[in-house]
Amino acid sequence: MRATRRFLGNVFFPSVTVALLWLWVLFNLVFVVWIGIQSLKTPSEVVLDPFGLPKSPQWQNYATVWEIGQFSAAALNSVVITGLGALLIVALAAPAAYVLARSTRAIASPMIAYFAMGLSIPLQTLAVPIVVAKLGVSTFMIDWVTGWWDDRITLLVFEVVFSLPFAVFVLSGFFRSLPNEVEEAAEVDGAGAVRLFRSVIIPLAKPGLTTVLVLNIIGLWNSALLVMLVISESSQRTLPVALLNLQSAMRYSSDWGGLFAGIAILVFPMIVLYLWVGRRIIDGMTAGIGK
């Protein structure tokens, strides 16, 4: 009986788990390739032969959807908001997480737990407050401060605020995994707090910072609900919202190849990014386990 339990616990279940994970990976890879193939088909080929190869690749699908969906402005908005947002998140979360990770005060651990609790708040429950806050900020800035306002600034602030709990939580665990001896040696050499953090901690924490940066880039790039709540002008929308609008338009024209091309434009850059830095993300996520 014990031998059977040992076999199930040490051999059978781990092997089944690994096999299921590889099947899931294979399914996702096949699905991504399938999307790319569909984006090169005519509408009739997508409907009549969904699993076949295109007879003649329709590369113009990408040019058509780029123009009809107004993807040029949407792509620029996505790049700017994603880039600035990810950098601001890391810049704000890194010092906060380091202080919480190294603090010996009793409030440090509860504060990290509070940041973790922020991950469990669904964005949908805050939809009405977000819209009210957005209108209040716009009215205040236009009437009392600058005389103008761009809702993309409001969107950027909201994106950073809602992403900080995850960033602080992950980085605090990573900073706890760093050896204290290096910091003590730097302090003996006369390094101040700012220099210690900039010259010693940041280089050591590069895997964790890269992890948080890339995961936030992926999250901000795919953000749609917050954009729809904050942005009202079509010229200020990002790629996910532009794709949703394109789906509504393509539904009447039945240009399914163009719709798949729009999906590819949104999804493929993030897949390439993840494949490029995937190993660093795994290393950064696992470095703080058990610390």
For 165-199, how does the pLDDT look when each residue is reduced to its tens digit (9 = 90+)? 889 988 888 888 877 777 777 777 676 777 778 88
N- to C-terminal Cα separation, the chain: 36
pLDDT at 157: 94
pLDDT, tens digit (0-9, with 9 covering 90-100), for 45-95:
888 888 888 888 889 989 888 888 889 899 999 999 999 999 999 999 999
Would you state the structure tokens that stand for residue 271, as one six-digit string?
């897949």
Q: Computed from CA positions of residues 259, 260, 261, 267, in that sequence, does the dihedral angle turn out positive or negative?
A: positive
pLDDT at 281: 66
Quick check: 201 and 178 in contact, CB under 8 A? yes
Average pLDDT value for residue range 202-207 = 85
Q: Computed from CA positions of residues 158, 159, 162, 168, in that sequence, does the dihedral angle turn out positive or negative?
A: negative
Quick check: 40 and 257 in contact, CB under 8 A? yes
Q: How far apart are CA 184 and CA 4, in angstroms?
A: 51
Q: How far apart are CA 34 and CA 49, in angstroms?
A: 12
Average pLDDT value for residue range 13-34 = 84
Which pLDDT band holds residue 10 (cuts at 50, 70, 90)? low
Q: How far apart are CA 133 and CA 112, in angstroms?
A: 26
CA torsion, ordered 51, 271, 127, 147, to nearest 10 deg? -120
Please name each of the domains of the chain with its CATH number.
Answer: 68-286 (1.10.3720.10)
**Per-residue pLDDT at 11 exceeds 60:** no
Of the chain, the percentage scoring pLDDT greater than 70 comes to 89
pLDDT, tens digit (0-9, with 9 covering 90-100), for 211-227:
899 999 999 999 999 99
Closest CA to 208 of 138, 271, 283: 283
Q: What is the mean pLDDT of the chain?
A: 84
Closest CA to 115 of 100, 125, 105, 126: 100
159/200: higher pLDDT: 159
Which pLDDT band holds residue 290 (cuts at 50, 70, 90)? very low
Question: What is the crossing angle of helices 256-286 and 151-176, to 10°?
Answer: 30
